[in-house]
Chain A
Amino acid sequence: MGFFEKMQGFVENKFAPIANKVSNQRHVTAIKKGLITTLPLTIIGGVALILAVPPVDTEIIQPTNFFNRFLLMWKSWATANNSMLMTPYNLSLGLLGLFVVIGVSYFLSEKYEINKISGVITSLFTFLVVAAPTQADNPAGFISSNYLDAKGMFSGIIIAIITVEITKFLLEKNIKIKMPDEVPPMVAAPFEALIPIIVNVVVFMSLNSLVLSLLNMSIPEISLKIFEPIVIASNTLPGVLLVIIVINFLWFFGIHGGAVANSVIVPIITANVAANAEAVAQGAAMPYIFSGRFVNLFANLGGSGAALSLALAMIIVAKSSHLKSVSKVGLVPAFFGISEPLVFSTPMIMNPMIFFPMVFVPIINASITYFTMSTGLVGKIYVNVPFTTPGPFGSFLSTMDWRAAVLWFVLITIDVIIYMPFVKGYDKQMLEEEQVSEVEAA
């Protein structure tokens, strides 16, 4: 048995069941589904932010040509209408924590077959009580939105999960206000929902005052501190590479690597893209490189193993009819980031000839991108774009930096060059097989 077969046995029998358990774990599923529901809001918030903060430096750009005049007009329009343009941003990405609480508590309640709207109301109310306490000295009665944005996301996830768990526990133990049988159910229902809300709010308010007095930090602040090391680690080059290696390694064994990795990284990249957007809104430097769709836009160009470059390399060098037809089937989907046709028809899975470029090309892409972003040669990602946005457009729109599109073309060129010798070797194999079968047929 060859090395790859042994590895496949290990991945399929040992690793895949664990990965499956993790990604199917009920809390992980609720987090994933909850965050996916907020995706349209993050896209809308990003678009509003682009409109409100055009990538125009009035000191550099002079109205010398039509395009520059357009940019300057946009800038002055955006400045004049700033508060109107920022409203969709402020109330979407700026309230991301709040929407995440709604999403996560909804899907966890659904899983437990608890009344979903009651579950959401209980979680949301508890979260607001802890994360956005009203200030007595503020006569206008504003609530502080400081922790309702991405900063409150981690505490929001925790609170959503624990409140639903407490509610489930109380319902299972049948701890609720019991009405006499004569009371109609319609009247009794609101009273039954009362106990879980009271218990949750009391638990979290007491906990919050306790940690405030002991550590001088609120629950949202502590949650941020707890997740800080993971967020920082994932933003380093080794952290980014680890994620990308795991994704492509799993794909090599025919397992949807992105789906497995996403159950862990989606909360981080969502929080990071929101934090970057906030920095842009405030005119500050963006803190995170590993943000938004970094993996698809700058490492796995065209999907797993940077499949788009494989398709292009095939078109350039392949002579066998198999690889020619494969590139025909796979090129267009790969342009939109869908790599499965190439993965399974080449096949990329369990193909020793393709293993090296499949794993290393994305590593090279991520490393170059990391370097260019950390040195400021290329802007960081602060806008979420839909997952099927084709490469150069996605790179540009998500960073609003034309140099990101240039970087995309540089990367795809390097990738195709690396892929070419491997495709040539594999193509030779295919040609020989095709000749043999032709001889047999004749």
Chain B
Amino acid sequence: MNILLVCAAGMSTSLVVNKMKKALTEEEKNWTIEAQPVDSLEEVIDDYDVILLGPQIKYKADEINKIGDEYNTPVGVVDSKDYGMGKGRNILNQAIKLKENY
């Protein structure tokens, strides 16, 4: 599965991405998890199965949901506690659920 995290500049999400990569299980090792600034979302969205927003840009959720609909990609906002503490496994589970329920 390919997961994309977006925030304002892609800085703090890149920290979270590292935590998520560390939490991958053996059979998930081939997953791609990347961070991008929200402004370039439309250029790269094609390459991903799930889009996760940093909680600090939750206010853009409506607009990003629309983009997600256009590209048939599920979109979710990362739980702020998980995001802050870098709880990689919880965020991975959230992504898996988003994908399954889409």
The verdict on B102 contacting chain A, using a C-beta distance below 8 Å, is: no
The verdict on B96 contacting chain A, using a C-beta distance below 8 Å, is: no
CA distance A388 to B11 in the complex (A): 9
Which residues of B, 24-47, contact A by the 8 Å Cβ criterion?
39
CB distance from A6 to the nearest CB of B (A): 18
The verdict on A19 contacting chain B, using a C-beta distance below 8 Å, is: yes
CA distance A340 to B85 in the complex (A): 10
Residues of A within 8 A of B56 (CB): 251, 254-256, 259, 340, 343-344
CA distance A256 to B8 in the complex (A): 7
The verdict on A24 contacting chain B, using a C-beta distance below 8 Å, is: yes
Residues of A within 8 A of B11 (CB): 338, 387-388
CB distance from A4 to the nearest CB of B (A): 15
Residues of B within 8 A of A254 (CB): 55-56, 58, 80
* Contact indicator per residue, chain A 248-265, by CB within 8 Å of chain B (1) or not (0): 000100111011000000
Name the prevailing secondary structure of the B interface residues: helix
Name the prevailing secondary structure of the A interface residues: helix
Interchain CB contact under 8 A, A33 and B39: yes
Binds B, one of A168-176, A325-333, A416-424, A429-437: A325-333
The verdict on A84 contacting chain B, using a C-beta distance below 8 Å, is: no
Using CB atoms, name the residue of chain A closest to B43: A110
The verdict on A20 contacting chain B, using a C-beta distance below 8 Å, is: yes
Interchain CB contact under 8 A, A344 and B83: yes
Contacts A254-B58, A256-B56 given: A344-B81 contact, CB under 8 Å? Answer: yes
Residues of B within 8 A of A133 (CB): none
* Contact indicator per residue, chain B 2-18, by CB within 8 Å of chain A (1) or not (0): 00000111011001000
Interchain CB contact under 8 A, B55 and A259: no
Binds B, one of A217-225, A276-284, A345-353: A345-353
Interchain CB contact under 8 A, A20 and B84: no
CB distance from A87 to the nearest CB of B (A): 31
Contacts A19-B59, A333-B15, A340-B56 given: A259-B8 contact, CB under 8 Å? Answer: yes
Interchain CB contact under 8 A, A347 and B15: no
Interchain CB contact under 8 A, B80 and A347: yes
Most buried by A among B11, B55, B56, B86: B56
Residues of B within 8 A of A259 (CB): 8-9, 56-57
Residues of B within 8 A of A340 (CB): 7, 12, 15, 54, 56, 83-84
Using CB atoms, name the residue of chain B closest to A32: B39
Contact count band on A: 20 to 34
CA distance A347 to B55 in the complex (A): 12
Interchain CB contact under 8 A, A325 and B63: no
Contact partner, B84, options A24, A251, A343, Cβ 8 Å: A343
CB distance from B86 to the nearest CB of A (A): 6
CB distance from A344 to the nearest CB of B (A): 3
The verdict on B60 contacting chain A, using a C-beta distance below 8 Å, is: yes
CA distance A12 to B11 in the complex (A): 23
The verdict on A287 contacting chain B, using a C-beta distance below 8 Å, is: no
Using CB atoms, name the residue of chain B closest to A15: B59
Most buried by A among B63, B80, B83: B80
Which residues of A, 294-347, contact B by the 8 Å Cβ criterion?
325-326, 329-330, 333, 338-347
Using CB atoms, name the residue of chain A closest to B86: A329
Which residues of A, 23-58, contact B by the 8 Å Cβ criterion?
24, 29, 32-33
Interchain CB contact under 8 A, B81 and A345: yes
Residues of A within 8 A of B54 (CB): 256, 340
Interchain CB contact under 8 A, A347 and B59: no
The verdict on A16 contacting chain B, using a C-beta distance below 8 Å, is: yes
Interchain CB contact under 8 A, A20 and B63: yes
Residues of A within 8 A of B58 (CB): 254-255
Contact partner, B59, options A20, A251, A342, Cβ 8 Å: A20
The verdict on A9 contacting chain B, using a C-beta distance below 8 Å, is: no
Contacts A258-B8, A333-B15, A349-B80 given: A344-B59 contact, CB under 8 Å? Answer: no
Most buried by B among A341, A342, A344, A387: A344
Most buried by A among B58, B81, B84: B84
Using CB atoms, name the residue of chain B closest to A339: B12
Contact partner, A344, options B8, B9, B84, Cβ 8 Å: B84
Using CB atoms, name the residue of chain A closest to B13: A340
CA distance A32 to B39 in the complex (A): 10
Interchain CB contact under 8 A, B85 and A326: yes
Residues of A within 8 A of B80 (CB): 254, 344, 347, 349
Contacts A259-B8, A333-B12, A340-B54 given: A12-B59 contact, CB under 8 Å? Answer: yes
Binding site for A on B (CB under 8 A): 7-9, 11-12, 15, 39, 54-60, 63, 80-81, 83-86
6 contacts between A and B (CB under 8 A): A256-B57, A329-B84, A333-B12, A338-B12, A344-B84, A388-B11
